[in-house]
Structure 1
Amino acid sequence: MKHVIEDNNGYRIFYSKGKPIKKEDDLQILYRLTWFATESDVNREVNNGRGPVDYKVSRGDKDKTLIEFKLASNSQLKRNLQKQVEIYEKANDTKKSIKVILYFSEEELNRVNRILRELELTETENIILIDARNDNKPSASTA
């Protein structure tokens, strides 16, 4: 999904008339499409007691991963990165999770990186940043 958004013009789905449409639901729907016809069990808004996680992907009880999507502009991003997914992990009996953050501007990227530094999460492999900017993807013929 990251590759499609960043390298295959997938970022365009988040724009209307040149303006970003910042809806976490759109990102979640796009993510669901990436799992079409797989052997994995993919469920959205799973609530096992401590609130709904965006996605739970599993292949049985011993192999499950939680995926939580956030927009970089989310005012609660720092708090969510600190605690939210870990609470969901406990409720879903897993230690595997992925946090996906979608950003639309250099300013948003800088904010995310600042928050990650403050929380000492800059080297965390399960945090994925997706660049949905429309101002930094020139055509290969003009680059």
Structure 2
Amino acid sequence: MRLRYWILAIASLGLFSNCNRQATLPEKEIQFGDAYRILTETARPEVQNKTLHLQVGYSGCSGGHPFRLEYRRIDSNTAEMWLVHDGRGEMCEAYFTEDLTLELPDELLRYQSVMLHLPGADAMVLR
């Protein structure tokens, strides 16, 4: 009977010792939305002042698809960003290229290093 209490006491200590530890959650998966490419063959994406300039390519029935900028902090000096494409459910096979100019939030500009994630490719350091 005493052995059972000892085992129970030791097991309880093991459980309670984890109470003060922070749970580490897996990083949020980056969602790019509908398929697109950031075109780097003719012009590399760049940040000028408070603006991101880049060229994208995507399939659809018409051009002018909306893109939304998402970002998150990696550490105190680095942030990463990516675009989310809304293809509006278009299933056509036409291919469009567009020059995008997106204003960057002030919070994102505070980081020394900013990386841009490219769908299906490695991230590139913009600064």
TM-score band w.r.t. shorter chain: under 0.3
Higher strand residue share? 2
User: What's the TM-score, normalizing by structure 2?
Assistant: 0.27
**Greater relative contact order (Cα 8 A, min sep 6): structure 1 or 2?**
2
Q: Highest CA radius of gyration, 1 or 2?
A: 2
Higher helix residue share? 1
